[in-house]
A = this chain, B = another copy of it.
Amino acid sequence: VIHVNEMPDPVIRRLAQYLEFAQNEREAGSEWVSSVQIADALGLTPSTVRQDVSHLAISGTIGRTRGYRTDELEEVLAKELGMERETNVAIVGAGDLGRALARHGGFLRRRFKVCALFDNNPRLIGQKVGPVSVRSMKQMAEIITKERVELGVVAVPEGAAQQVTDLLIGARIKGILNLTLVHLAVPKDVTVVDARLVASLQELLCRKRMRETQRASTAKQRRRSKCEA
């Protein structure tokens, strides 16, 4: 926060992991962690870790022989990730996924507060889901302003995604988490992050199958060269 507010996207994506690890380490009683330890735990190289940390406002000096203080890492990362205060979130779409997210403990623990859940299905409106009730999308702009909602989550079927996004933008939301597979068109002052839930499963299957055919073909090659020998 002190020396840079330019940070490459891949670095930002690793921040949450670093925080998670630092927290766990501190809670387990470790006062220090080195770049090698972090790298091993998170499947990175120590170089990457040190480059990433250099983007942070870590007060460290060169040449320490014990690495980074877990509590300092935790503090700086939490600040960088905006955890010094609660962030209000609205979820649009009270289907299975939207309702699950509204109740998901993992968000609250990281200081996200789901304070509104919208849907257009009259059967769902009024229903209590975890800490909130489902409300009509017609009330979206009003409630978002009143409740000081900062982030919107799009958890509706693909066909409604862009429409809902436009509503959120109309309500002056500047940050949107997209749970659908469709690409959302937004003005350039709005930030979108794709959660890639279904896409991840498809990516997984594709990569797994690809590795298997690779293995199969190398095995075949091996057998062949064995025969030739």
Q: Evaluate contact between A107 and B198: CB separation under 8 angstroms.
A: yes
Q: How many identical chains are in the complex?
A: 2
A42 in contact with B183 (CB, 8 Å): yes
A219 at the interface (CB under 8 A from B): no
Interface bin, chain A: 35 or more
A196-229 CB contacts (< 8 Å) to partner B? 196-215, 217
Question: Across the interface, do B205 and A195 meet the contact criterion of CB distance under 8 Å?
Answer: no
List the one stretch of A62-70, A96-104, A139-147 in contact with chain B. A96-104
User: 9 A–B contact pairs at CB < 8 A?
Assistant: A16-B199, A17-B183, A81-B206, A96-B104, A97-B100, A110-B202, A193-B203, A194-B200, A195-B197
Closest 10 CB pairs of A and B: A100-B100, A175-B208, A193-B204, A16-B199, A96-B100, A16-B202, A82-B205, A96-B103, A191-B208, A195-B200
Q: Using a CB–CB distance below 8 Å, which chain A residues touch chain B? A: 5, 7, 9, 12-13, 15-17, 20-21, 24, 41-43, 80-82, 87, 89, 96-97, 99-101, 103-107, 110, 112, 150-151, 153, 157-158, 174-177, 181-183, 185, 189, 191-215, 217
